[in-house]
Each structure stands twice: as C-alpha cells, then as structure tokens.
Amino acid sequence: MSSALSQPIAPPHILWKQVLGLTALQSVIALMWLVYSLYLPQLLTQLGLPPQMGLSLLVIESAIAVIMEPLMGGLSDRSQTWMGTRFPFISIGVVLSSALFILIPISAILGKTGIQGVAIAAIIAWAIAMTLFRSPALSLLRRYAALQDMPLATSVLSLAAGLLGTAKPWVNQAILSWGAIAPFTIASIALLGAAAALRISTPPTAPAAQPLDSSVMRLRALGAIALVGLCAGWGIRCVMSSFGKGFQTLFADGGMGMGAIAIGLVVVAIPAGWLATRLGNRRTLGAGLLTTAALAGLLAAFPDRGILIGAAIILLLSLNFVFVGGVPFALSLVPAERAGLGVGLYFGGMGAATGLFGLFVPQPERLSGATDGLLGAIAFLLAALCVWVSTPHVPQTESGS
C-alpha cells in the first residue's frame, strides 16, 4: 500500500535537532512525575488524607494510561493524516498538564477537608492530561529516524531519563526544601518551553490525500506490542527489586550497589543503542529480554556475591537493550501512519503493568528477592516470546509516494 503521508517512511538520517527536542520534552515529563511522587504524601497529609491513598491514585493513573495512551496515539494518527501534524493533541495536552500541575499544590494549600475533592480531581485530571500528548509526541520518532537507526535515537531519551533517575537521591531533599509551589511551577513552565521548542523544529506536512487504510492493521501485531509493554514493565520492576534486595542482603551497603547499577545503565545507554542499530533491534531486544530473564533466574537460584556482581555487570547491557528497543519494536509492527497507535499500545501495556503490580502486590517489600527474580524472569520470557512470534510491518515503499 502506498503511504498516505507526505513525509518519508524511512528518513535517511537521524534528525538530531528534533530528537534532542523530544528528549527535552521527555525529560520534563520525567521531572514532573518526580516532583509529583516526592510531594504526594505531603499533599495528602495536608488534605487530611492518609498517605497510603497514593497507592490507590497510582492504580487509577495506571488504568487511565491503559485506556488513554492508545486512544490518544490513534487519534493523533488521524490528526497527522487530516491536518499534517500531531501537535493539536500535543499542544492541548501540554497546556492542560501545565495548568493542572500548578493547581495540585495550590488546592492542597488553600484548604483541608473542604477542598479534598478539588485536589483529588486536579490530580486525576492532570494524569489524564499527561496521557493526551506523550504517545503523540514519542510517535514523532517515526518521522525523525529510520527504523534501523531508531534505537540510537531512543538511547538518547533513555540516557536523559537515566541521568534524572541517577540524580534523584541527591536532589530529593533540595526539591523538598523549596516548598511545593516552586518545583511544581518550574516544571510546568519547563514543559511549555520544551513543547514550544519541539513545535518550532517540527513543521507540519501536507495532509494526506486519502484516509487511513485500516486493512493493513494486524490484531496479532497490536497484541504483541501491548503484551511486550506489559511484560517488560512488570519484568523491569521485579528484576530491579530483586537486585536491590540482593545487594541489601549480601553487602553492608546495598544502596551503593544499586547506585552503581543506575550509573552504569546511564553510561551504557548510548553504546547499547549503537549496537542495536548495527545488529538489528529485534535481535538485540530479544537477546536483552532473554539475557535479563536468565540473570534474574540465576540470582534467584544462587544468591551469591560473585554471581550478583557478575549478573549486575551483564545487566547493564541487557536491560539497556530493552530500554532502547521497546518503542522501535512497537513502531516496526505498524505502518508509519499508525505510529501513534503503536506507541500508545506499548505505553498502555506499561501502564497496565504498573497498575496490576500495585493491585496484586500492594506491599512489594514483603516479597523475597528470589520471588522478585522469578516473577521478573517469567515476565521477560513472555516478552521475548511475543517478540519472536511477531512479524514486522514491511512498507512497500521507502519514499512515501
């Protein structure tokens, strides 16, 4: 089928200016969730609500992501086809998210029990607004890089997220010392600025001459995308918890071991993306899933210092293959004009993993490291199976004509 869009299906090079703009937007999104997670217990206490209510909100937010991520991604596909741009969804989502994010601490400061409903409504509305633009924005990667080069592009996004995660233990107290209004306001303004910069660097294309053709969509491909997101999200959480508990059990300072893993994941992100572009994303993603499953299983069966250290070193590469390969895998299974739906299904699966884990494992600290490792290994094996049975969508033209 001829592509209905005017932009090339497989750009010859990575458009680094646009990729860096998208990285800035993704980094601000991560910053907003960091600020939110830091202040949520404090804000709930100010409202006279138990801090444990944060778990219920997490499940609600995850349920919202399961529904809204693929929905907004799919609707942005139609916007791209009809209007030549996805930015109506991105712009509306960014503006609403920015305004609602500032409203969250204000609603907690203005009152106690009388304004509980307003504060909870603002939190849930903000979570909905955040889903309006993440999948449409990240689906722009299909326009910014050829599929074979995309893991290198996503490795930059992974690097930025990793840097923020690595700095989290050191910036937590600083952010909390500012009070709620300042960090919420700074993050909101930064979101508007990052979205504006990305919009300037991404001009619209000509609208499509014909509507989207749904005949090329395969249910098995869409299911594989969602299942890989679900299993990878569950597996990452369990495996990292397993290694963390292993360091705490086998070493005097377990936090130092996990800090070293966090730093190592950042250092190896770009090399992993480069290798994935050379060896092929499906191959490295499958290898990363299987290797991480084997490491988790090995650590669960043989909790030993030497095995833990060796497995942690190998994990730096295998887990990075999962980080940099997930979105390119999703985009490889759908035609270019369905990029938003593909990315939305992947993140919807991730959201399902977060919600289900919180629902079925409300007290994860009570799980042993071996149980965490076994659950993570099973999840990664299932994800690898989904990758193996899936069939990439092969466009009939590389010119977009």
Question: Taking the domains of the chain in order of start, what are their residue ranges?
Answer: 16-201, 217-389
What is the tens place of the pLDDT at every residue in 78-101? 988 888 889 999 999 999 999 999
**Dist. CA 377–CA 274, nearest whole Å:** 26
How far, in Å, CA of 46 to CA of 197, rounded? 36
Average pLDDT over residues 15-37: 93
Distance between CA atoms of residues 91 and 86, nearest Å: 9
User: In the chain, what percentage of residues exceed pLDDT 70?
Assistant: 91
**Which segment, 49-53, 307-311, 364-368, 393-397, is predicted with the most confidence on average?**
307-311
Token pair in block for residue 113: 């029990």
Q: How far apart are CA 162 and CA 387, in angstroms?
A: 25
pLDDT of residue 174: 82
Which pLDDT band, with edges at 50, 70 and 90, does 276 fall under?
very high
Q: Report the pLDDT value the prediction gives residue 50, as an integer from 0 to 100.
A: 85
Is the pLDDT at 138 greater than 70? The verdict is: yes
Residue written as tokens 């990363």? 288
**pLDDT mean over 179-201:** 93
Average pLDDT of the segment spanning 294-323:
93
Mean pLDDT of 264-291: 95
Lowest mean pLDDT segment, chosen from 15-24, 163-172, 275-284, 374-383 = 163-172
Can you tell me the mean pLDDT for 153-175?
87
Model confidence at 231: pLDDT above 80: yes
The reported pLDDT for the residue numbered 359 is 83
Q: Give the CATH fold of the 16-201 domain.
A: Growth Hormone; Chain: A; (1.20.1250)
Domains 16-201 and 217-389 fall in the same CATH topology: yes
Phi-psi group of 9: left, alpha or beta (phi > 0 → left; psi -120 to 50 → alpha; rest → beta): alpha
Which pLDDT band holds residue 209 (cuts at 50, 70, 90)?
low
The residue with tokens 């504060």 is 119
- pLDDT exceeds cutoff 50 at 67: yes
Q: What is the mean pLDDT of residues 263-274?
A: 94
Q: What integer is the mean pLDDT of 190-214?
A: 77
- Superfamily for domain range 217-389: MFS general substrate transporter like domains (1.20.1250.20)
What per-residue confidence (pLDDT) applies to 254?
67
| pLDDT for the residue numbered 175 | 86
**Residues 354-388: tens digit of each pLDDT:** 888 888 887 888 889 899 999 999 999 999 999 99
Round to whole Å and give the CA distance between 200 and 229: 31
Query: Residue 104's closest CA among 130, 65, 132, 81?
Result: 130
The whole-chain average pLDDT of the chain stands at: 87
C-alpha–C-alpha distance, residues 222 and 341, integer Å: 9
